[in-house]
Amino acid sequence: MYDAIIVGAGPAGMTAALYLLRSGKTVLLLESDSFGGQIASAPNVENYPGIPHMDGSDFADKLLTQVTDFGADIDVTRVGGINKMNGFFEVITENGPVASKTVIIAVGVSHRTLGIPGEEKYFGKGISFCAVCDGPFYKGKTAVVVGGGNSAVQEAIYLSDICESVHLVHRRDTFRAETSLVECAKNKSNIFIHTDSVISEFFGDNKLNSMVLLNKKTSEKTNVVCDVLFEAIGRVPENKIFSDIIDLDSDGYVISDENCNTSCPGIFVAGDCRQKSVRQLTTAVADGSAAALAAIDYLK
* Confidence (pLDDT) at 40: 84
12-21, 228-237, 246-255: lowest mean pLDDT where? 228-237
- Clarify whether 133 is annotated catalytic: yes
Q: Which is catalytic among the residues 134, 227, 272, 287?
A: 134
Average pLDDT rounded to a whole number, residues 259-269? 98
What pTM did the predictor assign?
Answer: 0.77
* Confidence (pLDDT) at 11: 96
- Mean pLDDT, all residues of the chain: 94
State yes or no: pLDDT of 44 exceeds 90. no
Average pLDDT rounded to a whole number, residues 269-282? 93
pLDDT digits (tens, 9 = 90+) for 197-212: 999 999 999 899 999 9
Domains of the chain: 2-111+235-299 (3.50.50.60), 119-231 (3.50.50.60)
Average pLDDT rounded to a whole number, residues 142-169? 95
State yes or no: pLDDT of 253 exceeds 90. yes
Nearest CA-CA partner of 269 in 244, 296, 294, 300: 294
* Confidence (pLDDT) at 162: 95
Average pLDDT rounded to a whole number, residues 282-294? 97
pLDDT digits (tens, 9 = 90+) for 57-69: 999 999 999 999 9
Percentage of the chain with pLDDT > 90?
82
Average pLDDT rounded to a whole number, residues 132-158? 93
Q: Which is catalytic among the residues 55, 61, 75, 133?
A: 133
State yes or no: pLDDT of 75 exceeds 80. yes
- Clarify whether 264 is annotated catalytic: no
Q: Which residues contact 12 (CB under 8 A, 6 or more apart)?
A: 37, 106, 108, 270, 271, 272, 284, 285, 287, 288, 291
State yes or no: pLDDT of 27 exceeds 80. yes
pLDDT digits (tens, 9 = 90+) for 105-114: 999 998 889 9
Average pLDDT rounded to a whole number, residues 249-278? 96
- Clarify whether 257 is annotated catalytic: no
Q: Which is catalytic among the residues 3, 130, 272, 273?
A: 130
State yes or no: pLDDT of 235 exceeds 90. no
* Confidence (pLDDT) at 39: 85
Average pLDDT rounded to a whole number, residues 83-102? 96
